[in-house]
Amino acid sequence: MLKSLEKIELFLAKHHLLSLATSADNVPQSASLFYAYDAEKVAFVVASDTKTEHIQNVLRNDTVSGTVALETNEIGKIEGIQFRAKMQMITQKEGSLYFKAFPFAKVMNPQLWLIRLEDIKLTDNRLGFGKKLYWQRADSKES
């Protein structure tokens, strides 16, 4: 039987767009970002300009949350994750797998970011209505 993280990673491999939530000074901001999943680091690599409001928030508060979801009207097929993470700027070399997933992005010379997942909840109705699987990083502190 697959472990929770393995099931989560199978889900993440089928998708490429996440919704990111940030906040600074009690002002929330959200953004949709293409991601490449780094299984070794249990993290997303994304690209975003430092001038955006969501990245300005990250520079002040690196704790973020977000979702990756399957869009469906069929209740029995609902799948998605919710996550909490820490986000930091990385070099293009450190985030090279982003360019493997999105080679066209290289010419735009984007700033890359690592979203280091701290905890994840997967909802997968295919396993039973409202079935949830959880994963938490071993060195993560409970919030």
108's tokens: 């735009």
Phi, psi (deg, nearest 5) at residue 86:
-115, 140
CB 132 within 8 A of CB 121: yes
Question: Is residue 143 a part of any domain in this protein?
Answer: no
Domain that holds residue 16: 4-136
Residue type, 50: T
93's tokens: 């070399």
Q: What is the pLDDT of residues 106-139, one digit of tens each?
A: 999 999 999 999 999 998 877 777 789 999 998 8
How far apart are alpha carbons 6 and 108 in whole angstroms? 33
Predicted local distance difference test score (pLDDT) of residue 103: 96
Domain of 132, CATH number, reads 2.30.110.10
* Neighbouring C-beta atoms of residue 75, cutoff 10 Å: 9
User: Is pLDDT larger for residue 91 or for residue 72?
Assistant: 91
Predicted local distance difference test score (pLDDT) of residue 143: 43
The tally of domains found in the chain comes to 1
Task: Pinpoint the alpha helices (H) of the chain.
Answer: 4-13, 53-60, 96-101
Question: Is residue 141 a part of any domain in this protein?
Answer: no
Question: Is residue 142 a part of any domain in this protein?
Answer: no
Q: What is the pLDDT of residues 39-53, one digit of tens each?
A: 999 999 999 999 999
pTM of the model: 0.91
